[in-house]
Amino acid sequence: MSVGTPPPSGPSQVQPRALNCPKCGAAITLHSFGQAVTVVCASCRSILDAQDPNLAILQQFEAATHDVKPLIPLGTRGKLRGTDYEVTGFQRRSTQIDGITYDWHEYVLFNPYKGIRYLSEYHGHWNDISICKTLPTADFSGANYLGETYKHFQSADANTDFVLGEFPWQVRVGEKAAVSDYVHPPRVLSSEKLDKEVTWSIGEYMYGREIWDSFKLSGEPPEALGVYENQPSPVTINVTGMWVAFAAFAVLLLALMAVFDMRAKKEPVLQETYQFNGADLKSEPSFVSDEFALDGGTSTVQVKTSAPVDNHWIYVNYALINQDTGQAWDFGREVSYYHGYDSDGSWSEGSRTDSVVIPSVPAGRYYLRIEPEVDPSLRSTPYSVTVIRDVPVFGIYGIAFLALLVPVVIISFRAYTFERSRWSESDHPPMELSSLSNSSGDDE
């Protein structure tokens, strides 16, 4: 042997292994190279030992249904999180919960440098899954992984029903693993216990569209049905944070109201008490008040009307008239107060005082024209009229408050209904749903 350049250790390029099924002779190529531990013969459904040079037959299975076709065909390559992966394996798994069979699909993805990851698909919901490299801690209610808390969602037995392609583990049809899922949307942490070995994996929710784009698949991805365990909520904002912000805004509104209330002069410019006499009905019902001055700039003017009515009403037609320009503001106010007692207890309606604010009244000399009308059953009553200049207006704050409250309530409701749909499928359904399913269970 020459003492020249050493031969490379092993072939310079790793080739896919081409073999033949020992059972039926069909050609089998190992696409995941030495990482294939088991391989399924596509023509005779034998599960073969891919590590054995002669491909020893490990198991032969009958496909219960022949129409199990992967949505992503074996051999398809796609880019996931920046790395090219090839679909090398596919399995259908199922679980039985309350007598109902649920099944889902899992895809084995392979890259010779980055190794294996998985995709799962259930009713159009996808997850990108990899094996945990650090060990989560878990109990019955939840789990902790990399400092994040996951809530227990469901524990069930997962059966392997159908397999295709290559697997980096000893896959067998009919094998049953105990699976527990813990969620922290968009992630799901799963433990899978087979015999004594527990494998933890971490999945992240993916939309069918992303899968279709990654693997350049034709057609449309299957529609996602219902809400999946780790599907991200359409409400992306933190609902608690939103309420905190809302509360802060409400406090700000109150502070603004207090500031404007303090800054308002609230200057009384007219305060008169008049007497209405039913006996004088024939006389002219309209009269004018004393003159009063509104000093300073344009401001609000509040007119208060009060009368000691008791199951009666009085109605006053007002005109606020500018002595100099003749500009007038006409308005009518009613003061009525009714009360009584009925089968529901005592009740009352109305008030003995009425108040109205006229916005933007220019400075000047003014008087009120007053025209009272009174409940015919009321013979006579005193009533007083108060005019106050520069009062704060709070109505706009109420509108602002409502304008913010309504979306906050709607968003909270949407978040709540989404989470309720999510958890209704779990081992921990919301209260009213669990009692419903219990009662329907009794009927069966």
Q: Is the bond leading into 186 cis (omega within 30 degrees of zero)?
A: yes
Q: Find the part of the chain contacting another protein (CB under 8 A) among 11-19, 179-187, 411-419, 431-439.
A: 11-19
As measured in angstroms, the least distance from the Cβ of 148 to another protein is: 12
Q: How far apart are CA 43 and CA 40, in angstroms?
A: 9
163 binds another protein (CB under 8 A): no
- Residues 39-98, interacting with another protein (CB under 8 A): 51, 53, 84
258 binds another protein (CB under 8 A): no
Please, which residue, 170 or 421, has the CB nearer to another protein?
A: 170
- Residues 210-229, interacting with another protein (CB under 8 A): none
114 binds another protein (CB under 8 A): yes
Considering only 20, 56, 169, 216, the residue that binds another protein (CB under 8 A) is 169
Please, which residue, 37 or 44, has the CB nearer to another protein?
A: 37
DSSP secondary structure of 238-264: -HHHHHHHHHHHHHHHHHHHHHHHHH-
Please, which residue, 98 or 195, has the CB nearer to another protein?
A: 195
Strand, coil or helix: 230: coil
| Strand bridging mode 148-167 / 38-40 | antiparallel
372 binds another protein (CB under 8 A): no
Four-CA torsion 161, 424, 422, 146, nearest 10 degrees: -80
As measured in angstroms, the least distance from the Cβ of 114 to another protein is: 6
Considering only 21, 28, 32, 374, the residue that binds another protein (CB under 8 A) is 32
33 binds another protein (CB under 8 A): yes
User: What's the Cα-to-Cα distance from 141 to each of 150, 151, 177, 188, 370, rounded to whole Å?
Assistant: 9, 6, 20, 14, 73
Q: Closest Cα to residue 422, out of 219, 269, 230?
A: 230
Please, which residue, 198 or 250, has the CB nearer to another protein?
A: 198
Q: How far apart are CA 272 and CA 250, in angstroms?
A: 38
133 binds another protein (CB under 8 A): yes
As measured in angstroms, the least distance from the Cβ of 197 to another protein is: 6
Query: What are the start-end ranges of the E strands in 41-147?
Result: 46-49, 57-60, 77-80, 83-97, 100-111, 115-122, 125-131, 137-138, 142-145
Please, which residue, 40 or 309, has the CB nearer to another protein?
A: 40
Considering only 63, 131, 250, 363, the residue that binds another protein (CB under 8 A) is 131
421 binds another protein (CB under 8 A): no
142 binds another protein (CB under 8 A): no
Considering only 62, 98, 139, 197, the residue that binds another protein (CB under 8 A) is 197
Q: Closest Cα to residue 130, out of 144, 116, 147, 148?
A: 116
Element (H, E) at 224: none
Please, which residue, 111 or 311, has the CB nearer to another protein?
A: 111
User: What's the Cα-to-Cα distance from 332 to each of 70, 278, 288, 301, rounded to whole Å?
Assistant: 77, 20, 15, 15
Residues 6+ apart with CB under 8 A from 20: 26, 27, 28, 55
Please, which residue, 191 or 231, has the CB nearer to another protein?
A: 191
115 binds another protein (CB under 8 A): yes
165 binds another protein (CB under 8 A): no
Considering only 62, 66, 99, 137, the residue that binds another protein (CB under 8 A) is 137
Q: How far apart are CA 124 and CA 207, in angstroms?
A: 8
Q: What residue ranges bind another protein (CB under 8 A)? A: 1, 3, 6-10, 12-17, 32-35, 37, 51, 53, 84, 111-116, 131, 133-137, 144, 168-170, 196-198
